[in-house]
Amino acid sequence: MKSTLAAIAITLALLLMLLGCNTAQQVGYRAQQSNPTIAVQPETPTVTTPKSNWRVQDSEINPIDGARDQILVLEANESSRYSRNRIDLVLCFHNGKLYTGQHVGARLDVDGFVTSDSGAVRLKFDDEKPIQENWSASDSHEALFPYGRESHFLVQLLHHKRLAMEFSYYEKASQTVTFDLTGLADDMKAAGLHDPTIEVKAAGARASSANAAAEKREAACKADYARDPFAKSSNCEYQ
């Protein structure tokens, strides 16, 4: 009898243990369901495109030959001190490339009378040292442009953020205006316009090499002349 009761007691204990384990597993499962793990997604970096003040005009297509002309205009932060009208930087492109040669590709519209005699200008890009140049006047005498250096000027605009420019109207005091150049590279790329940076740098390297060679020949010529003023020298082009 005692052994029977003992067996019954052991069986009941085992049943209670099994019930307890099942209850704990169910509680843990419900806890997992009520508190699911939330994966933290990495934040996507925000890319802010700099605001551009350039006005990109719609391109004009020549109905005869299909040539494409397009103009970009940037208004100065200051107006003319004499007429209170605006002063603009203007870039003109033909078939995607800056106009050069007989056509003016880059100019400063001053809304006033200027001449080539008053074409001395000073330029300052960002925090660099000022540059003095002589610009030509347009036939209308209402604009100045860097004759023969238009592509170089465009490259300067592309690789700087700010331009300060000093010029003079005919027989008037000089005036300084500033331009925010931000966004030019993006605007040109979006419009399919050519960036001449590579060509301009290559041309500059060739010119520097040629100048160095010329200086070397001149020094050699002077040395030859000092040794014998009457002897011919291959280094002296004037003999």
Task: Give the C-alpha separation, 23 to 18, whole Å.
Answer: 9
Task: Give the C-alpha separation, 21 to 9, whole Å.
Answer: 19
Task: Give the C-alpha separation, 143 to 108, whole Å.
Answer: 5
pLDDT for residue 56 = 96
Kindly provide the residue ranges of all beta strands, DSSP E only, lying in the chain, ordered along the sequence: 55-56, 60-61, 68-75, 88-94, 97-98, 106-109, 120-125, 131-134, 136-137, 143-145, 162-168, 174-180
Position 61 confidence tier, pLDDT thresholds 50, 70, 90? very high
Between 30-44, 84-98, 125-139, 156-170, the lowest mean confidence (pLDDT) is in 30-44
Name, in order, each residue with C-beta under 8 angstroms of 109's C-beta and a sequence gap of 6 or more: 87, 88, 89, 90, 142, 143
Sequential DSSP letters for 4-42: HHHHHHHHHHHHHHHHHHHHHHHHHHHHHHHSPPPPPPP
Q: In Å, how far from its chain's centre is CA 223?
A: 47
**Sheet arrangement for strand 120-125:** 131-134, 120-125, 162-168, 174-180
Tell me which of 47 and 204 has the higher pLDDT: 204
State what percent of residues in the chain have pLDDT above 90: 53
Q: How much is the average pLDDT of 49-65?
A: 90
Tell me which of 39 and 124 has the higher pLDDT: 124
In the predicted model, is pLDDT for residue 66 greater than 90?
yes
Lookup: tokens for 42 = 């990495």
pTM here is 0.70
Q: 120 near 140, Cβ under 8 Å?
A: no
Which neighbouring-strand residues pair with 92?
71
State what percent of residues in the chain have pLDDT above 70: 77
- Tell me how long the chain is: 239
Lookup: tokens for 178 = 């500033």
Q: 183 near 53, Cβ under 8 Å?
A: yes
pLDDT for residue 78 = 93
Q: Which amino acid is at 213?
A: A
Strand, coil or helix: 127: coil
Lookup: tokens for 180 = 């925010």
In the predicted model, is pLDDT for residue 153 greater than 90?
yes
pLDDT for residue 237 = 67
How does pLDDT run across 167-208, given as a tens digit for each residue?
999 989 899 999 999 999 999 999 999 999 999 988 878 877
Name, in order, each residue with C-beta under 8 angstroms of 42's C-beta and a sequence gap of 6 or more: none
How does pLDDT run across 71-116, given as a tens digit for each residue?
999 999 999 888 878 999 999 999 999 998 778 999 999 988 999 8
Taken in order of first residue, the domains within the chain and their CATH numbers are 55-195 (2.60.40)
